[in-house]
Amino acid sequence: MKKGKIGLFLFLLPVVLSLFLYFLLPYSPGQVNMGERLEPPTLAHPMGTDFLGRDVAKRAAVGVFLSLGLALLVVLITSITGTALGTLAGLRGGLLDETVMRTVDLFLSFPGFLLALTFVALLGGGFRNLLIALSFSGWTSYCRLSRGIAVKLREEEFILSSLALGASFPWILRHHVFPHVFPVVRIQAVVSMAGVILAESSLSFLGLGFQPPTPSLGAMIDEGRGFLFQAPWLSIFPGIFLFLMIMGLLMMAEEENLGSIFS
């Protein structure tokens, strides 16, 4: 079995399981029941309960959906922005290219996670602030990749011939440039999704991501640290979900042709 298909299986496993648990279990993610606190995994609570008697499985399922939804939005925003800027800069050259690339260099002079950490530390956590913070510098990788491809393409004969025949700039982008840019950007998007999920979980682990009582895999791992010997399931199950999603995405990204994963 190809590594990409194994990666897809690993990624879908926690997602599908979370869907199953979310609709199967009757509890609310924030439902407190002090009479059932720190219960080990049972049929009623497949992943046990936490120190407030909340169902770990239901909270982990919601945490998977939040992480995945945030990652998809961040990747959508950053990939469109970065690819558009990089492609235009690479094809046009001149002042536009210089301005865009110096801006990219400025953003890359600071670690992306440090920028996100500073942003949420100043303005607080929550979905909106996490979306802005993680999108703030994420576009740079797409910009550099697409710009490099566009610079090579602008001197190719088929581009020059199209220009000589009077083809419009949008037509050239659609038919000659984006078919070369898209495969590279697609792989970068998969890697970026893994990075966003890890960054969100890290910020939530530090108390700067999703705020209580909103479930987050990183926050759940942090909450379980004080009960590692008494109730290890508090950190183990969210950690397994997080590991499977990130590992699956990274293995998928190693597949040169992502489309072959689904065939």
Domain total for the chain? 1
pLDDT value, residue 258: 66
Q: Taking the model in full, what pTM does it have?
A: 0.91
Dig out the tokens for 205 from the structure: 């682990």
Q: pLDDT, tens digit, for every residue of 16-64?
A: 999 999 999 998 998 898 989 999 999 999 999 999 999 999 999 999 9
- In Å, how far are 85, 97, 103, 149, 251 from 176, measured between CA atoms? 17, 19, 26, 11, 29
Average pLDDT (221-237) is 93
With respect to residue 28, please indicate whether it lies within any of the assigned structural domains: no
Task: Give the CATH number of the domain where residue 232 resides.
Answer: 1.10.3720.10
Q: pLDDT, tens digit, for every residue of 84-136?
A: 999 999 888 889 889 999 999 998 888 888 889 998 988 888 899 999 999 98
d(CA 44, CA 247): 29
Alpha helices in 111-210 (DSSP H): 112-123, 127-135, 139-153, 157-164, 169-172, 178-205
With respect to residue 78, please indicate whether it lies within any of the assigned structural domains: yes
pLDDT value, residue 58: 95
With respect to residue 72, please indicate whether it lies within any of the assigned structural domains: yes
Range of the domain at 128: 3-19+62-255
Residue with tokens 């792989």: 187
pLDDT value, residue 19: 95
Q: pLDDT, tens digit, for every residue of 155-195?
A: 777 777 777 777 777 777 787 788 888 888 999 999 999 99
Selection from 5, 173, 190 nearest residue 79 by Cα:
190
Higher pLDDT, 144 or 259: 144
